[in-house]
Amino acid sequence: MSQVREIKCPHCGEWTLWQGDIDDRCLYCGEFLESRQFSREVERKIRNEVLKENDYFFIKPEDGPVKRLLKRVLNSLRWWAFYLQIVFFIFVTLILVLISILPG
Which residues are at the interface with Zn ion (CB under 5 A)?
Answer: 9, 11-12, 26, 28-29
Closest to Zn ion by CB, 7 or 59: 7
Closest to Zn ion by CB, 20 or 47: 20
26/35 Cα distance (integer angstroms): 11
Closest to Zn ion by CB, 28 or 91: 28
Phi-psi region of 20 (alpha: psi -120 to 50; beta: other; left: phi over 0): left
Do residues 33 and 20 make contact, with C-beta atoms less than 8 angstroms apart?
no
Compute the least distance from the CB of residue 49 to Zn ion, in Å: 30
Do residues 18 and 9 make contact, with C-beta atoms less than 8 angstroms apart?
no
Compute the least distance from the CB of residue 31 to Zn ion, in Å: 5
Where would I find the beta strands (DSSP E) of 1-104? 5-8, 15-18
Compute the least distance from the CB of residue 43 to Zn ion, in Å: 23
